[in-house]
Structure 1
Amino acid sequence: MRKLFPNFDKAEGLDTVLEIPIPEEMLTNMGTNGFNRWQTLKTLMNSQFLDSSDLSAPLNNEFIVLLKLVAAPLIPLHVHSDQTLTRPLKDCSIKDSIAKYIVQQYVAATGGVGALNSLKSMYAMGQVSVYLTEMHEGGGDDSYRPRGRAEVGGFVLWQKNPDLWCLELVVSGFKISAGSDGKAAWNQSSSQPFHANKAPPRPLRRFFQGLDPRYTANLFLDAECVGENTINNEVCFMLKLQTDKKILQAQSTSNTEIVMHTILGYFSQRTGLLVKFEDTKLVRMKPVKGKDSVFWETTIESTIEDYRYIDGINIAHSGRSVATLYRYGAGYNHKRMIEETWNIEEVDFNIVGLSVDCFLSPSDIEKEHEGSEQAGGMS
């Protein structure tokens, strides 16, 4: 991963530190002239969108929507990163007590309660490869195939207790930013310059891909054990969370109804570690008078591997996610998939000097909040 770039403005000056480290392959694709590469990089880092991808123009909008789906989705629940990681096993059902025991084993396998509770902040930097996949009629695995070559890129992720996080991700010529300021989560991309999600703040799904054991343990403390399954030759316990209807209603909008959001975690019986994270969300677009409803179903499956200890915390260093977007109803029958593989290059904890100011939201979020309050006052 390239972190520094020659200072073309001042030959005797220090090298420029890149805001988002990028793979050498991505830099190579920007051309052979160093100055032109630097100009391209500056434009990319200072804008939300730069059409430097090899994807043809008609695919750009579709790609950015799918990239956003796999890169920066949120978990529907408000999950604490700094609360206790254990719950008493008494006064609960057998299924619930089994789930809590499995979470206790996971906490032990990732470093233990003491080590995890000592974490106040974290930083991760990694590399991604993304494939856009098209579906052909006929069904089955053979009906899907990658469209073109992989798009490569990198990301930086910061987190601080409580409820503060920030993600910057660049893939080929596309940039996505997302974050949480402790009050609400937000994201930006070319197709949607700014979008704030309804409070309370929710964590980024990427934390649950083996990067932050605190989030994972707290998420599944209230889960139910629903059986066993084998993932990559590992026999796993399956823990399930079904998002409460009241929470889904609170996150729905005037145009959409979130019908369900189900989360599954697969924990190895041998190691206690999380080896697969899966969630499915179903959204109904509220129909215009006289028309049928249209449904959007998204499923993201992440397999997680290559756990290594960093400062006493067992962190996954690679994995693969497959996100499926299925639109149906009112004559629609459209399915698209995007596949992401990632490798973690660096992880660090308890970052010195990481202040709240590093997680400030864009100024647009204040305007959106003010607009919501005014709309609420008129309703």
Structure 2
Amino acid sequence: MGSRSRRQLQRWCPQPLTPLMEGPDFGMEDHDCNKKETSWEVIREWFKIHRTVPVDNSFSSSMPPSLYGPNSSSPAKMQDLRLLLGVLGCPLGPIPISDKPISHLHIKDIPLETSTAYYIIQQYLAAAGCSKQQSLAKNMYTSGTVKLVRCETEISTGKSVRTMGSRSAENGCFVLWRMSPGMWSLELSVGGHKVVAGSDGKIVWRHTPWLGTHAAKGPQRPLRRIIQGLDPKSTASLFAKAQCLGEKRIGEDDCFVLKVAADRAAVMERNEGPAEVIRHVLYGYFSQKSGLLIYMEDSHLTRVHSEENDTVYWETTIGSSIGDYRDVDGVMIAHQGRTVATVFRFGETSMQHTRTKMEEMWTIHDVVFNVPGLSGDSFIPPADILDTAQAVSP
């Protein structure tokens, strides 16, 4: 993986850097990767396409050829795939993971919600087998397959509601490398398109064929795929300062519900031009029976101001059912899951809104701890990301 992958990453053509916006951030044509445009401009393009297509999702040959992707006869099909990869490909958690061990909590003067969450996390670590074996794991390799189900879009005008979508699916696969602290690399290939993302512990970046290479704004945060059952120790660190909201039943399991949220200063660092991040919250549902994480849901809300002084809100909610835990070298790793994401677009005054739903089914095929030869050099960002980081550093 090391030197060969680094050479491949750094051979990419230079791309205009724009901040990584989680949620819908799909782009235009693959051959226009050098065109400078913001995430929210291409969101409006996607919305425009879907408002003008027929209800039966059949597209006329009279539509402009420039809207068609290189591997698709349907503009909406191509844009849907980019939306799927933009939302479900490599989203990040709301807050950074601490690289320090979870210390013993002194319950004096600590709110009950915080102390309760602490003991739930301790039970989770014990149930996942992290007390012994996980402390010895220096790195991890994971591979698996994904199935992405295309969008179902509901468009409401206030008086009527129109629903579109064929629910066709695309199969793909991914490879994930992880090394502490905070270093990871993901390659995800679906429907002929490839998304590559990574972190060297300081910089989080992503590359897509339609938007080029992007550096994430704000604090360094973990890849969501890692904390949804692949690395229990990272999950525990993320919820180390969580609040316990109570209990809720998920399927046949009674669960404790834990909540963590990004503070105001952290979300403000993620603002991009007219797009302002309002909040980002994550909920973890831990089974009272097994002690393991079986469901996770996060939601973030963004407000976008247009040039016409209109305000539009985008709320992205991602919920993941996590299961099929198996013992891998003494650590319980989730090997299957299903994720449902909803992107809800609405305005402050208008009754119009759109609600787009998409799904992912994922399966883990291989997990290996302590891969020989894996080092920090394997997680070096692309050259253009490093050049930009050096240019803006004090």
Smaller-chain TM-score bracket: 0.7 to 0.9
What is the TM-score normalised by the length of structure 1? Answer: 0.79
Structure 1 residues 280-314: Cα deviation after superposition (integer angstroms, max 9, x where no partner): 000111343x5121111100000000000000000
Residue 203 of structure 1 deviates from its aligned partner by: 1.0
Residue 66 of structure 1 deviates from its aligned partner by: 2.5
Task: Name the residue aligned to 2:367.
Answer: 347
Letter in 1 for 2:247: E
Is 1:242 matched with 2:261?
yes
Task: Name the residue aligned to 1:195.
Answer: 214
Over the matched positions of the two proteins, sequence identity in percent amounts to: 39
Task: Name the residue aligned to 1:95.
Answer: 113
1:102-121, aligned counterparts within 5 Å?
Answer: 102-121=120-139
Task: Name the residue aligned to 2:182.
Answer: 163
SS at match of 1:109: helix
Deviates more, 1:253-262 or 1:149-158: 253-262
SS at match of 2:107: coil
Change in Cα spacing, 1:74 to 1:55, as seen in structure 2 (3 Å) is farther
Change in Cα spacing, 1:212 to 1:131, as seen in structure 2 (3 Å) is same
For residues 109 and 51 of structure 1, the distance between their equivalents in structure 2, rounded to whole angstroms, comes to: 47
Deviates more, 1:51-60 or 1:126-135: 51-60
- Structure 1 residue aligned with 2:242, among 223, 232, 235? 223
For residues 98 and 55 of structure 1, the distance between their equivalents in structure 2, rounded to whole angstroms, comes to: 54
8 Å Cα contact 1:65/1:191 also seen in 2: no
Task: Name the residue aligned to 2:224.
Answer: 205
Task: Name the residue aligned to 1:361.
Answer: 381
For residues 150 and 276 of structure 1, the distance between their equivalents in structure 2, rounded to whole angstroms, comes to: 23
Task: Name the residue aligned to 1:83.
Answer: 100
Residue 372 of structure 1 deviates from its aligned partner by: 4.1
Residue 359 of structure 1 deviates from its aligned partner by: 0.9
For residues 299 and 73 of structure 2, the distance between their equivalents in structure 1, rounded to whole angstroms, comes to: 28
Task: Name the residue aligned to 1:264.
Answer: 283
8 Å Cα contact 1:123/1:351 also seen in 2: yes
For residues 234 and 72 of structure 2, the distance between their equivalents in structure 1, rounded to whole angstroms, comes to: 37
For residues 239 and 53 of structure 1, the distance between their equivalents in structure 2, rounded to whole angstroms, comes to: 43
For residues 331 and 204 of structure 2, the distance between their equivalents in structure 1, rounded to whole angstroms, comes to: 27
The RMSD of aligned alpha carbons is: 2.6
Change in Cα spacing, 1:319 to 1:144, as seen in structure 2 (3 Å) is farther
Aligned residue pairs total 324
SS at match of 1:117: helix
- Structure 2 residue aligned with 1:315, among 311, 333, 336? 333
Task: Name the residue aligned to 2:36.
Answer: none
Letter in 2 for 1:133: C
What is the TM-score normalised by the length of structure 2? Answer: 0.76
SS at match of 1:101: helix
Structure number with greater CO (CA < 8 Å, separation at least 6) is 2
SS at match of 1:133: strand
Task: Name the residue aligned to 2:150.
Answer: 132
1:262-301, aligned counterparts within 5 Å?
Answer: 262-288=281-307, 291-301=309-319
For residues 145 and 224 of structure 1, the distance between their equivalents in structure 2, rounded to whole angstroms, comes to: 39
SS at match of 2:221: coil
Structure 1 residues 198-244: Cα deviation after superposition (integer angstroms, max 9, x where no partner): 25422101111100101110011101110111112101000011221
Residue 148 of structure 1 deviates from its aligned partner by: 4.2
Q: Which runs of 5+ in 1 are unaligned?
A: 1-18, 20-46
Is 1:337 matched with 2:354?
no
Letter in 1 for 2:310: D
1:4-153, aligned counterparts within 5 Å?
Answer: 56-80=74-98, 82-91=99-108, 92-136=110-154, 147-153=166-172
Task: Name the residue aligned to 1:10.
Answer: none
For residues 207 and 164 of structure 1, the distance between their equivalents in structure 2, rounded to whole angstroms, comes to: 11
